[in-house]
Each structure stands twice: as structure tokens, then as C-alpha cells.
Amino acid sequence: MAKIRTFIAVEASQAIKSQAASLVERLAQTRAHVKWVAEEQMHWTLKFLGQVESNEVPRLCQTVAARVEGFRAFEILASGAGAFPNSQRPRTLWLGMEQGSDAFVCLHQCVEESLFDLGFRREHRRFRPHLTIGRVRRSPRGIAELAEAVAGQADFFAGSMQVPELVLFASRLRRTGPQYQPLCRIPLGR
């Protein structure tokens, strides 16, 4: 049976993607070596699943849908640039979430529990909602400049959006970057 690389996420609205792309433009002016995320691929990851059997996709979708059935749609405000592990040693650059992060964390826990029931490991790190905008390459060139630029965008505001559904995506790695394909959409309550 074929295996598919998968993850569960919330698609960012086009307005937030556009604002995040403008943040990327600002940060890309530094000399740091960063692999920037393409605007059309920006999303809020809830859970990376890795390789799953293609015949397991319907059961995955049904199990997650049953668990989030009573979870109501909610609004988020996307704001604040940051970095993991921290802004002085940036490895992953992100756009944060000001409002709605508590609901997003609860939604993540719901998804975690449903997937644990299917044999997936729980994430042991604290979940922090973020939209990845770039990954820093190992080169130290421009890191201090990048750290300063990220700190200068701590109040960056990207807008608001409703979270109406979750999406199970297939992720195919290509030379030009990953390609994402929705496998199923899981609506939240209204």
C-alpha cells in the first residue's frame, strides 16, 4: 500500500497570507540565509503525522471529525513575528496569534487525543500556534541582523480570520519545494 506524508492544519486566509508575505519581504532584506515559505503554502499546523498508509486516510478523517464535532468555529488575530527557539538564535521564523490562541490550543489537544486513539504519538513539547514563514539555514551570516529585524516586527499585525475547518493535507516534497494537496476537509460547528 502506498504511503503519504501528511499533516493536519488550518488554511490561512488569503488576506493573512498576503500580510505574511509582506512580513517575509521585510525580513528577507537581511543577509541571513533563509528558506522562505511560499505565500500559497502558508498555514497553521496542528499536527504533523508523517507517513500514513493511503487506505487509512478515510479513517483518519472520520476519527478527527468525530472528535472535533462539537468544537465551534472561532476567530483568530494573526500578529507578531517571532522565532524558535528564540529571536537571538532563530531557526524557524513565524507569524504569531494574538487572539484565538487558547481556542487553537484546545483544538490541537482535541486533534492530539483523536490521533492518539489511532496509535499516533503525542507531542510532548508545549504547543504554540504559529504560521511558519521561513526556516533559517545553518550559515551564521546575517543572523544578528535577522534577529534584530524579527524583534522589530514583534507588533506586526496581519489581520483576523475565522477558523471554520481543519484540513488533512498530503505533502509531496519536490525540488522546487513542497506541494500540498487537501485529502479531506473537516468542518467545525457554527
Task: Give me the residue spans of the domains in the chain.
Answer: 3-187
Cα angle 136, 142, 95 (rounded to 5 degrees) comes to 45
Catalytic residue among 33, 43, 108, 124: 43
Q: What are phi and psi of 23, to 5 degrees?
A: -65, -45
Q: What is the pLDDT of residues 53-78, one digit of tens each?
A: 999 999 999 999 999 988 999 999 99
Catalytic site includes residue 43: yes
Catalytic residue among 33, 108, 124, 130: 130
pLDDT at 39: 95
- The CATH superfamily holding the domain 3-187 is Cyclic phosphodiesterase (3.90.1140.10)
Would you say 130 and 82 are in contact if contact means Cβ atoms under 8 Å apart?
Answer: yes
> Average of pLDDT values for 7-20?
97
Please tell me the distance from the alpha carbon of residue 22 to that of residue 183, in angstroms, as a whole number.
29
Would you say 111 and 187 are in contact if contact means Cβ atoms under 8 Å apart?
Answer: no
pLDDT at 190: 67
Please tell me the distance from the alpha carbon of residue 39 to that of residue 44, in angstroms, as a whole number.
13
Catalytic site includes residue 130: yes
Would you say 154 and 63 are in contact if contact means Cβ atoms under 8 Å apart?
Answer: no
